[in-house]
Structure 1
Amino acid sequence: MGETPQSHLADGRRTARRRTFLRAVPWVGTALTATGTAAGSATDRDFPPPKRTEWSEPISLGNGELRTFTTVAPSGDPTYHGVVLDRDALTGLPSAAELRARAERGEPGDKYGPTGTALEIHHAWSQEFFVPFPETAATPFTFLGLTWNPEGHPPPGTYDVPHLDVHFHMLEAETVDTIDGPRAAAYTIPEARLPAGYTRVPEPGLDGDFAVVTDMGEHLIDPGAPEHTDGEFTNTLIWGAYDTTGNGRGELTFIEPMVTKRYLETVTGTDRYEIPQPTLYPTAGSYPTAYAVRDVPSDDAIAITIEAFTPVGRTEQH
């Protein structure tokens, strides 16, 4: 992995490397018994480790920038996939009205470009980015799908506050780009492929069917999360699924921390949370058992990562 200076975003001397999107590997089921990672708090002054980290090119968000990164251990095993965003990126963000006007002028932008695209997604106007991860063959993760939701999105009273959807995708970007919605998810998901404690969510507008969302897929939730048990949504974890083969059986396709703007503005230290695991995985490789949100004070930035990777092997053919 290439070296980067200690100031990861603010230091303009850092040279970014262009990366192509990774090719998806064949989809087979795999099994893992995971150990949980407890939430904690610490200060990461020099994060991520500069000598073992590679970066994407910068993306403009609000008054700041963001970059994706991949960090590996000296052994070459994966340590982090993540995104670091300037705290300035949380200011000057476009409103839903501004994004709608941009699209209606015929100037929505490019989701693969440095300023993203404006589109109506999740029944709300949003700004969307597709940003590749620097390559590491040990994980199935390919790119970051980041969405700024100025007014949140449904369901009302749950996620309708300003927040970021941070999708760690396991499909090729070109495949995700073809997913359109909202429409019924016309497939089943075997129970072994559902993460522990997670469930499918009927979509009221689709007569109770499960929903596929544009550029994403189906969203699986933990009904015990605070926002579903009379608590407040500050950050939560969504698993995503889609029928990738057309055989009528859905498979896990992304991991999505959802984080409110307010939470990101106030986070200090490191908040780390367990990622519930399925019994069967979509492909062999290393999968994260934790996600984290970190204050990076040396760069006046915030990092959102998946980490604590555990290797899994093949156990089920489609």
Structure 2
Amino acid sequence: MIPLPRRLLAATLSASLVAVAAVATSIATGGDASAAHTTTICLVPSGYRGVEVTVTVPAATAERLLARTPSYAGVCAVYGRPLPLGGATVRTYAQIEGTVPRVIGITFPSSALSGLPTEMTDRHHCFDVDGDGAIQEMTECAGGHERELELPAALRRLPGVPLTWALVNWNPHGHGAPGVYDVPHFDFHFYIQPKAERDAIRPGPCGIIVHCDDFVRGTVPVPPQYLPADYTDLQMVEVAMGNHLLDQTSPEWNGSPFTRTFIYGSYDGRISFLEPMITHSWLQGLVTGQHSSACLPIKQPAAWQVAGWYPQQYCIRYRANRDDLTVSLEDFRR
């Protein structure tokens, strides 16, 4: 027997899944799909993680499928190219309905939380601040261990999406502010600023290992109408990243330990990135059941400098049926 090409096999299996879902819906509702509450999921059969098809089924059927297969809620995702991280890989994904982005996020298996680098940084962004001819990793490097991620091609083609690429930083020793963010954690950046402009933020002796001229550009104030409520410029401009605007009403600035927070980036007076920042221990706690998946609101500015779709919340989830974690921007509005 000649084996079917993978694409043909996937198409055949997808068609079969749609047919099965339609029959299941018909049986569950007596042939009247409107008689039952339905839910849209991405149906992924066990053993076929590369095959995904969007189906709408009764809520009870969806619940069973989500529990017993690697299926997931919402329409099927499109993905960016994966890069290695820890014991696995990390990649971007997006769930799109028509011309509307529903979810834009980053996903990785739980095994990515193991086998991570323990050195302070990957030494991509260092500068000999004291001029002694040697690089002191703890004080003259920044950025942790970075993974530069492309957004899915289908998302990049979608009109009105201001996000252009993503950056994941693993910080095994944390970073400033001292006593606040100096614990092992991940930075998940979703950039509005084009990558070439971000790459042009040079190393130097000012700010967080940044060129002094670029530090000045990084601290140009964002006009008030574009600045979200409660966000403050503490002049935390970093090489190859930009400035970090912090919400000092967040729990970690008010007596609670840092677990997860949301940061806005800026450069040259413009919002440049959106950043959920999450501790390693919090993500590990999701996997073990110590913490629960949740969505949190994102404080919005009165207006955006670049028109388009922007998220109203960010979500951190562990999907036990897939044994993966997602960090996503959701509830997009124009």
Per the normalisation by structure 2, the TM-score is: 0.68
Aligned with 2:252: secondary structure? helix
Counterpart residue type for residue 196 of structure 1? A
User: Shift in Å at residue 199 of structure 1?
Assistant: 1.2
Q: Distance in 2 between matches of 1:120 and 1:273?
A: 33
Whose radius of gyration is greater, 1 or 2? Answer: 2
> 1:146-225 counterparts in 2 under 5 A?
146-180=168-202, 181-182=209-210, 183-184=215-216, 185-201=218-234, 210-225=235-250
Compute the RMSD of aligned alpha carbons.
3.0
Gaps of 5+ in 2: 1-10, 15-41, 53-65, 127-136, 203-208
Counterpart residue type for residue 228 of structure 1? W
Query: Structure 1 residue aligned with 2:279, among 257, 260, 265?
Result: 260
User: Shift in Å at residue 6 of structure 1?
Assistant: 2.7
Asked if 1:284 is matched to 2:307, the reply is: yes
Aligned with 1:192: secondary structure? helix
Aligned with 1:148: secondary structure? strand
> 1:239-278 counterparts in 2 under 5 A?
239-243=264-268, 250-267=269-286, 268=289, 269-278=292-301
Kept after mapping to 2: 8 A contact 1:158/1:227: yes
Aligned with 1:299: secondary structure? coil
Alignment-derived partner of residue 18 in structure 1: none
Q: Distance in 2 between matches of 1:285 and 1:263?
A: 32
Kept after mapping to 1: 8 A contact 2:151/2:165: yes
- More deviation, 122-131/292-301: 122-131
| Aligned pairs, number | 251
Q: Residues 60 and 14 (structure 1 numbering): CA distance in 2 closer, same or farther, change over 3 Å?
A: farther
User: Shift in Å at residue 262 of structure 1?
Assistant: 0.2
Alignment-derived partner of residue 93 in structure 2: 69
| CA offset digits 1:150-183 (Å, max 9, x no partner) | 1000111100000000001012212211123533
Gaps of 5+ in 1: 16-42, 105-118, 202-209, 244-249, 312-318
Alignment-derived partner of residue 114 in structure 2: 91
> 1:24-43 counterparts in 2 under 5 A?
none
* Percent pairwise identity: 30
| CA offset digits 1:291-312 (Å, max 9, x no partner) | 000111122110000010011x
Q: Distance in 2 between matches of 1:12 and 1:273?
A: 29
Per residue, is there more helix in 1 or in 2? 2
Kept after mapping to 2: 8 A contact 1:272/1:290: yes
Query: Structure 2 residue aligned with 1:143, among 150, 160, 165?
Result: 165
Aligned with 1:174: secondary structure? helix
| CA offset digits 1:101-156 (Å, max 9, x no partner) | x999xxxxxxxxxxxxxx98995461111101112323201111110001000111
Counterpart residue type for residue 229 of structure 1? N
Q: Distance in 2 between matches of 1:147 and 1:52?
A: 27
Kept after mapping to 1: 8 A contact 2:91/2:106: yes
Q: Residues 168 and 98 (structure 1 numbering): CA distance in 2 closer, same or farther, change over 3 Å?
A: closer
User: Shift in Å at residue 97 of structure 1?
Assistant: 5.4
Q: Distance in 2 between matches of 1:76 and 1:192?
A: 27
Aligned with 1:212: secondary structure? coil
Counterpart residue type for residue 177 of structure 2? P
Alignment-derived partner of residue 113 in structure 1: none
Kept after mapping to 2: 8 A contact 1:162/1:260: yes
